[in-house]
Amino acid sequence: MTSDPFKAALSITEDSVKAAAAHSKQAAALAAQVPGIRADTLLRPIRKVVVIGAGTMGGGIAMSLANIGISCTVTDATQEGLERGLKKVRDNYQSSVSRGRLDQPAMDQRVALISGSLDMAAVKDADLVIEAVFEDLALKQKLFLQIDALAKPGAILATNTSGLDVNAIGAVTKRPQDVVGAHFFSPAHVMKLLEVVRSDATAPDVIATLMDLGRRMGKTAVLSRVYPGFIGNALFRNYTREAHFVVEDGALPHEVDGALTKFGYAMGVLAVQDLAGNDVGYQTRKAALATRATDRRWNDLTMKLTDMGRRGQKDNKGWYLYAPGDRKPQRDPEFEQWLVQESARMGITRRPFSEEEILKRCLYGMVNEGAKLLELGIALRPSDIDTVYLTGYGFPAQHGGPMFLADRIGLANVLADIQRFHTEHGVWWTPAPLLEKLVREGKTFASLQAAD
Ligand SMILES: NC(=O)c1ccc[n+]([C@@H]2O[C@H](COP(=O)([O-])OP(=O)(O)OC[C@H]3O[C@@H](n4cnc5c(N)ncnc54)[C@H](O)[C@@H]3O)[C@@H](O)[C@H]2O)c1
């Protein structure tokens, strides 16, 4: 047994796996409980749903609803978008039938529950409207104005935004109490996580109804308050930021991903970005360049990759090279050379990184942000953050989630490294006051659960 607390916490034993499994089970059960909302709250009936936007998310959301017998109309701005979306739904079901996971009559029944429309007036009869159009606040606000004018009183108006301000969306309507975030993950008919995002105005029965609907769809619903990226994407931002900084500081892409897969992730974060597309969020990032805080270091590697035509698997190159038709990432010596030159251009002296340091930078970025979210009341409990990570972000189950793992390592040890990173790398690493308080008091994140 090693005496290094980090190594010891990461080492896998039968007991440690059992403890992580027990934690994750308990955490998922706890996530369903919302303090202040009575268990006997009268739920709003959800019989008919309209999903606006027949893209990647809209189709999957419609399937999740049809799978539990709820009738659903999908709308889109264009005939082409609608047809493509509905075809994708049928293809997904067909593939389940071909694999023997669904029988043909069940598929027919589900497909029959999903209809298409180009007319926004479809929202008139809906008990629940779920907006899933492009990630653009002005577009979503325009749509919610229209929905507000058409939907019946008492209908729940949800947005599938990945992180926009749900308060600002609700504020354009005359019924902000009925507006809520319903953040599904991709592919929505498969992924278990549903982040339910309450605005400052969302009514308790709307929250209860959405949490219950999530459960009925076989998902784990976790409640979040409004914050850029909510719980999941807020932590993810810190995780990717550190992975990219580490690349600029001296680690090569396969070293970063190697450390993460050895830790237990099915894929490293850079390979995941190649899969999702390094161009995701390009316009938003570009637009934000002008207003960035000047007190910290920024990183533009994904924008640079996009500008170089390295969007990832779809270009057969990104952080890695891909042989046509093959998803296996291969090292690219030319790109690695470019990275070395890029560090030099930025005045960074590259240095070797141990797996341990790569992991600490990526994981502690999440833990520190998690502590901030707890202090701000964005996440209700540390275990909710773990649930988000275990069900939506592929966090290795054997480690029980980022907050559980931090307790295992010992918060004093985690804080000591964060303080060192703060000295070395500046403001991004400002220790979360809650983390400092817990260490001062000799407490764990788990001790905060006692409030439940
Ligand atoms: N793709 C993901 O991995 C993912 C995951 C979670 C959340 N989200 C969020 O879900 C939302 C949708 O993302 P997506 O990936 O499905 O996008 P997408 O580009 O695949 O689909 C968007 C669809 O909305 C349609 N549309 C645009 N304007 C419209 C309008 N005014 N009325 C009706 N339809 C309109 C488009 O024609 C398109 O079919 C975004 O807010 C996104 O941030 C995406």
CATH, residue 145? 3.40.50.720
Please name which of 205, 1, 207, 189 lies closest in space to residue 95, comparing C-alpha atoms.
Answer: 189
Which one of 120, 133, 191 would you pick to mutate in the ligand 1 pocket, going by the greatest count of ligand atoms within 8 A of its CB? Answer: 133
Residue 38 lies in a domain: no
Q: Are residues 221 and 301 in the same domain?
A: no
Distance 382 CA to ligand 1 centre (A): 30
Phi/psi of residue 196, each to 5°? Answer: -95, 120
How many structural domains are present in the chain? Answer: 2
Which residue has the least CA distance to atom 15 on ligand 1? 56
Q: Determine whether the shortest distance from the Cβ of 59 to ligand 1 is under 6 A.
A: no
Residue ranges in the chain whose pLDDT is less than 70: 1, 450-452
- Probe residue for ligand 1, chosen from 118, 120, 162 as the CB with the greatest number of ligand atoms within 8 Å: 162
Ligand 1 pocket check for 135: Cβ under 6 Å: yes
Sequence-distant (≥ 6) Cβ neighbours of residue 18 within 8 angstroms: none
User: Distance between CA 160 and CA 145 in Å, rounded?
Assistant: 16
120 & 240 share domain: no
Ligand 1, atom 2: nearest CA belongs to which residue?
Answer: 186
Q: How far is the CA of 135 from the centre of ligand 1 (A)?
A: 7
Report pLDDT for 337: 98
Burial of 26 (0-12, 13-18, 19+ CB in 10 A): middle
Asked whether residue 155 is domain-assigned, the answer is: yes
Q: What is the CATH number of the domain that holds 309?
A: 1.10.1040.50
Q: Considering the domain boundaries, does residue 326 fall inside one? A: yes
Q: Are 131 and 164 in contact (CB under 8 A)?
A: no
What are the residue ranges of helices labelled H in 277-426?
282-288, 301-307, 333-345, 355-376, 382-392, 402-409, 411-425
pLDDT of the residue at 450: 60
Q: 133 in ligand 1 pocket by Cβ < 6 Å?
A: yes
Residues 17 and 162 grouped into a single domain: no
Token look-up 């019924």 returns 175
- Asked, for residue 243, whether it belongs to a domain, the answer is yes
Q: Which domain holds residue 147?
A: 48-225
Q: Are residues 219 and 308 in the same domain?
A: no
Q: How far apart are CA 431 and CA 416, in angstroms?
A: 10
Q: Find residue 115's DSSP bridge partners.
A: 73
pLDDT score, position 359? 98
The atom of ligand 1 lying closest to the CA of 276 is 3
Looking at the structure, do residues 20 and 83 belong to the same domain, yes or no? no
15 shares its domain with 98: no
Protein residue with its CA nearest to atom 11 in ligand 1:
132
- Which phi and psi angles does 321 have, rounded to 5°? -100, 150
Q: Does residue 293 fall inside a structural domain?
A: yes
Give nearest CA residue, ligand 1 atom 31.
Answer: 77
- The confidence score (pLDDT) of residue 3 equals 82
Same domain as 452, residue 324: yes
Nearest to 407, CA basis, from 347, 448, 379, 349: 448
Same domain, 149 and 289: no
For ligand 1, whether the C-beta of 77 sits within 6 Å is: yes
Q: Give the pLDDT of residue 381.
A: 98
Q: Whose CA is nearest to atom 39 of ligand 1?
A: 55
- pLDDT digits 0-9 by tens, 398-444: 999 999 999 999 999 999 999 999 999 999 999 999 999 999 999 99
Among the candidates 194, 225, 256, a domain finishes at 225
Indicate if 101 and 7 belong to the same structural domain.
Answer: no
Task: Tell me the pTM.
Answer: 0.97
3-state secondary structure of 44: coil
Q: What is the Cα–Cα distance from 196 to 234, expressed in whole angstroms?
A: 15
Does 60 lie in the same domain as 23?
no
Rounded to whole angstroms, the Cα distance separating 412 from 407 reads 9
Residue 316, helix vs strand vs coil: coil
Separation CA 187–CA 161 (nearest Å): 15
Tell me, yes or no, whether 39 lies in a domain.
Answer: no
What is the token pair recorded at 425? 């790398």
In three-state secondary structure terms, 52 is strand
DSSP state of 179: E
Q: Give me the phi and psi of 253, to 5 degrees please.
A: -50, -45
pLDDT at position 1 is 58
For residues 271 and 379, state if they share a domain. yes
Q: How far is the CA of 297 from the centre of ligand 1 (A)?
A: 31
Please report whether residue 10 resides in a domain: yes
Give the H or E element holding residue 51. strand 48-52
The residue out of 209, 225, 241 marking a domain boundary is: 225
Q: Which of 225, 260, 278 is the last residue of a domain?
A: 225
- Are 88 and 59 within 8 A, CB to CB? yes
| 61 C-alpha to ligand 1 centroid (Å) | 11
The answer to whether residues 381 and 255 touch, using CB atoms and an 8 Å cutoff, is no
Question: What is the reported pLDDT for 162?
Answer: 95
135 and 241 share a domain?
no
**Residue 43 belongs to some domain of the structure:** no
